[in-house]
Structure 1
Amino acid sequence: MCSTLPTEVQNAPQIDQDSGDTIGVLDCLRLNVYVPNKASSQNPLPVMVWIYGGGFFEGAAGWYDGSYLVKHDVVVVTINYRVGPYGFMCLDIPEVPAFGGDANSITVFGQSAGAGSIDLHLYSPYERLFHKAIVQSGSAKVEGMFINPDYSAAINIAQQLGFNTTDSNEAISFLSTIDSHLVIAASSSLGYWFRPCKEQVFDNVANFVEQDSQNQYSPARIRNTPLFVGTTSDEEYTYDMNEFAGNPFLDKIKTHYSLSDADLTRISNTIRHFYIGDEEISSDLLRELNDFKQDFHFQHPIDRAIVKYIEQGANVYQYIFAYSSDDSPVYHSAELKYLLSPKFDPLDESNKKDLLMSKCATTMWTNFAKYGNPTPESTEEVPVTLDRATVDKRSYLYVDDENGNLLPLTSLPRKYQNWGQDRDWNRGSGVGPDDGVRIDFDNRTVVGIRIDSENG
């Protein structure tokens, strides 16, 4: 069926989240290429390039298996990139065709932090080397995905390792001589979490990230780009009530926005009332509390990104992945089992329902890589067709197992709408009742709040 060109790709230096050990090597910039036997220079096939997630502090190409996707006659490439301080420490100092791939039909796809990376690639001023993108459960607009640079980080890590300096160049020179495991451990002990940032401007140096992620706007780059964007139905579901101790509504807003105490109180009370009314926080409200957590961290920022894609002329197809074979919540990363059978959640091929879902999901993802449309026609594996999403008609595919059907729907679930896409009054921002305060999420200012009055 396919030939695999594997390399024994080692992880980038990182902390193993299970053992707490420091693992990986700096010489990690490798890739795996999965190639169907029928691929050749005379028969070039669409290429899918996978960018893994992991919060920019963990992950590896070798965790993911491209063999399920490659069965659909695409070339799959999984790439390694450096994470943590070696990949994302912001400083204040300045070929596919060989594998039978079609250089004119390249799709990048990624999940979580990988999706945030793709979002940044879409707006980067560099020449674009891809033609389509699949953005799974992430965006550069997700809170915490994009940070202000800390130019003292290298100095602080060097000092943690016994080298005292106030000069970034000296710190970097020192760190380059130190075992990478020691650097990773020192960074972790200092509590650093490195992520993309707006880059310092230098003469004759081309920046990859030129804009704050909340204000990305470039219709010339986005227009006509095919995008397949979505989330799982229960991204951050938890049964741990400690997650909601104190006042979670106020705490979430306070963590990410610099607002006056009066505005924080009004906003958090309004949001609280929207989700749980006048009820006291208890385990009986676990579903509603999880809805708030998920909406704040994922659904709302991703939905804002989708609206901006559409407004800038992208060809957007949207999905919500809600399939679970055992009726458990469909957590963050749940769809990866059926696409890439990752080591942390491998596909059980003895489960016939899961295997059918894998065939369905890989068909949609590879259809998009081939045609720029996940459902170009109704087939046995995918017996539906999906319209493109527009600002006024938010068509999306609800991927579930109810009666074995996929559901093409034409408007988002009500809770997703209420967080910010009330187009009658201010497209792209806002939450709250008819009279109150609204947050402009793109510019982090307060201009009034509104939530649909039926629910507020």
Structure 2
Amino acid sequence: MRVLLLTSILFTVQCYVSGAQVRVDPLVLIDQGLVRGQKALDGDYSSFLGIPYAQVDTANPFGPSLPAPKFDTIFNASNGDIACPQPRAGSQSLDCLRLNIFVPSRASVNQPLPVFVYIHGGGFRDGYASKDSPTGHNLVAQDIIVVSINYRLGPYGFLCLDIPEVPGNQGLKDQYTALQWVKKNIVHFGGNANHVTIAGESAGAAAVVYQLYADNEKLFNKVIVQSGAPQSPGLLADGDTAAALKLARHLGYVTDDNKKALEFLTNTSSDLVIGAMDATGFNVLPCFEKEFEGVESFIPAKPFALSAPMKVKNTPVLIGTTSCETCGFFSPDPLYIENNLKAYNLSEEELREATEVVKHFYLGDEPVSEATALSLDLFNSDFGFVNPTELAVKQLLSEEAGPIYQYVFSFVSERDGDTAGATHASELKYVFADGYDSFTEDEKTVSDHFTFLWSNFIKYGNPTPESSERVPFTWQPVTSQTRPYVDIDVAATARARFRGPAMAFWELFYKRFGLDAVV
């Protein structure tokens, strides 16, 4: 019986009568103990919500995590709403290193299924596992196990103090710990630990790329990068070693000693620490870490991209953006372009010249105003998302990743209002089919496109292993000379060189101002 428990998914019968329906909840034995999930009533799968994969060290909540807790009794995995400390979240706690698992009923250790691990976005300052992917319902229906994870955010995840206790990037290290948990435990849920795709959107997409390049064991086989890349200007920088001092000072404790400031913040309510983050404008970013003997380092050197090229080689990548990432976010500030370009750390003279060059390309001779709002939206989208994605593609190609498939999501629903294109994160509800039953027919069609393309990539490393009625062509990967992409709309269409003239402009811009496109 012990061997059976260790190698099988067990089912314990508990009756929940809804008319004539009986729900059978699953019981799974993992290394931590027994975990009880919930059999879904809206599909042929089970959910396991809020399983702890590690613990925050209460003596140093800004540093390395502790091993996952053991369960003395059955752990009821039914609460997926716990979030790590962040602004404006509901149920938040430092006891937040948890993950959710959605398992098709046919999963078994004898025929393990591919695994999809999703890393949420939120600028490394907010978000949680259940926010973007309530169930992954349609992907699960394709016999894919879906996992979504929490990780520490804000100062708890991204203080970079150049000291052994808090070297930096703890949020990224939490993600890696979650991947280690999946590698070790997913077999008990009927998952294939050697067939894992990691994916993320926005900050989560950048995190996926960091995981790909980190100099540690590779715990996945394929990556999906949605609207985010480390090449976005200002996204990866030297850490602010005085950040803890500033947070403590804002809360009334003045010291020049980082360790004393950390001790104060450790004994301060996480609500107050997060409030201080907002009030002081704490810059939540992954950072280059100072290396210490015996201390895990995640982003140890510049250029970061060269730290683990063998992990990148031959890794299938699905990468893309929305068609108008920041449509509607324009601010009619005459210094709007100049303030964005400051992220490049140009000299004053170079900044003035660069601003004029960008204005002429995007606005012609028109001033920044409401009349040029769409042009500014396109600048912002190109600057923050589209061109960084192109830079990421070039870098991945140079390191022999591949095949690399590029997409653009351009669908705008009749319920989205008046927008010039699909905006940032607008594809997520279609990827995860959140509210599918209430979708319009066009929305269902678009969601079905994602289910078809994403599930094929997760299973085969190729979104179109063969042409079909839904996608009547073979999706071609990018090369050093070509940039084919698939436009995902009501019809999925093969195109080439999204925003081609603008991307050519930015290539020349980088050369003119001597900017390094490699992270």
CA distance in 1, matches of 2:429, 2:45: 20
1:255-294 per-position Cα deviation (integer Å, ceiling 9, x unaligned): 2123233322222212211122222334333322211111
Structure 1 residue 175: Cα displacement? 1.9
CA distance in 2, matches of 1:105, 1:205: 29
- Give unmatched runs, 5+ long, in structure 2: 1-43, 50-77, 165-184
Relative to structure 1, is the Cα distance of residues 191 and 283 closer, same or farther in structure 2, using a 3 angstrom cutoff?
closer
Contact conserved, 1:123 with 1:217, CA < 8 A, in 2? yes
Contact conserved, 1:232 with 1:332, CA < 8 A, in 2? yes
Matched AA of 2:141:
K
Matched AA of 2:215:
P
Residue 517 of structure 2 is aligned with which of 428, 434, 442? 442
Equivalent residue, structure 2, for 1:454 = none
CA distance in 1, matches of 2:303, 2:205: 13
Contact conserved, 2:117 with 2:198, CA < 8 A, in 1? yes
Relative to structure 1, is the Cα distance of residues 261 and 52 closer, same or farther in structure 2, using a 3 angstrom cutoff?
same
Equivalent residue, structure 1, for 2:456 = 367
Structure 1 residue 443: Cα displacement? 7.3
Map 1:332-371 to 2 at 5 A: 332-341=424-433, 347=436, 349-371=438-460
Matched, 1:325 2:395: no
Equivalent residue, structure 2, for 1:409 = 495
Matched, 1:178 2:268: yes
Relative to structure 1, is the Cα distance of residues 371 and 135 closer, same or farther in structure 2, using a 3 angstrom cutoff?
same
Map 1:41-80 to 2 at 5 A: 41-63=109-131, 64-65=133-134, 66-80=136-150
CA distance in 2, matches of 1:290, 1:214: 30
**Residue-pair matches, total:** 420
Structure 1 residue 96: Cα displacement? 1.2
Matched AA of 2:504:
N
TM-score between both structures, scaled by the size of structure 2: 0.76
CA distance in 2, matches of 1:322, 1:185: 37
Matched, 1:114 2:199: no
Matched AA of 2:155:
P
Matched, 1:420 2:492: no
Contact conserved, 1:14 with 1:22, CA < 8 A, in 2? no
Matched AA of 1:13:
P
Structure 1 residue 360: Cα displacement? 1.2
Contact conserved, 2:303 with 2:518, CA < 8 A, in 1? no
TM-score between both structures, scaled by the size of structure 1: 0.87
Contact conserved, 2:137 with 2:433, CA < 8 A, in 1? no
Map 1:108-187 to 2 at 5 A: 108-187=198-277
Contact conserved, 1:140 with 1:213, CA < 8 A, in 2? no
Structure 1 residue 144: Cα displacement? 3.1
CA distance in 1, matches of 2:306, 2:392: 9
CA distance in 1, matches of 2:204, 2:189: 24
SS in 1 for 2:458: helix
Contact conserved, 1:123 with 1:218, CA < 8 A, in 2? yes
Contact conserved, 1:384 with 1:406, CA < 8 A, in 2? no
Q: Which moved more, 1:48-57 or 1:347-356?
A: 347-356
CA distance in 2, matches of 1:228, 1:416: 22
CA distance in 1, matches of 2:272, 2:223: 36
CA distance in 2, matches of 1:285, 1:173: 50
Q: Which moved more, 1:121-130 or 1:174-183?
A: 174-183
CA distance in 2, matches of 1:207, 1:81: 17
Equivalent residue, structure 2, for 1:313 = 400
Contact conserved, 1:239 with 1:286, CA < 8 A, in 2? no
Structure 1 residue 334: Cα displacement? 0.8
Q: Which moved more, 1:67-76 or 1:273-282?
A: 273-282
Relative to structure 1, is the Cα distance of residues 55 and 247 closer, same or farther in structure 2, using a 3 angstrom cutoff?
same
Matched AA of 2:365:
D
Equivalent residue, structure 1, for 2:7 = none
Equivalent residue, structure 2, for 1:26 = 94
CA RMSD of aligned residues (A): 2.2
Structure 1 residue 411: Cα displacement? 3.1
Contact conserved, 1:249 with 1:269, CA < 8 A, in 2? no
Residue 189 of structure 2 is aligned with which of 87, 99, 103? 99
Contact conserved, 2:484 with 2:494, CA < 8 A, in 1? yes
CA distance in 1, matches of 2:426, 2:505: 24
Structure 1 residue 363: Cα displacement? 1.6
Contact conserved, 1:133 with 1:227, CA < 8 A, in 2? yes
SS in 1 for 2:510: coil
CA distance in 2, matches of 1:145, 1:72: 35
Matched, 1:81 2:151: yes
CA distance in 2, matches of 1:334, 1:213: 32
Residue 475 of structure 2 is aligned with which of 362, 366, 386? 386
CA distance in 2, matches of 1:355, 1:119: 30
Equivalent residue, structure 2, for 1:447 = none
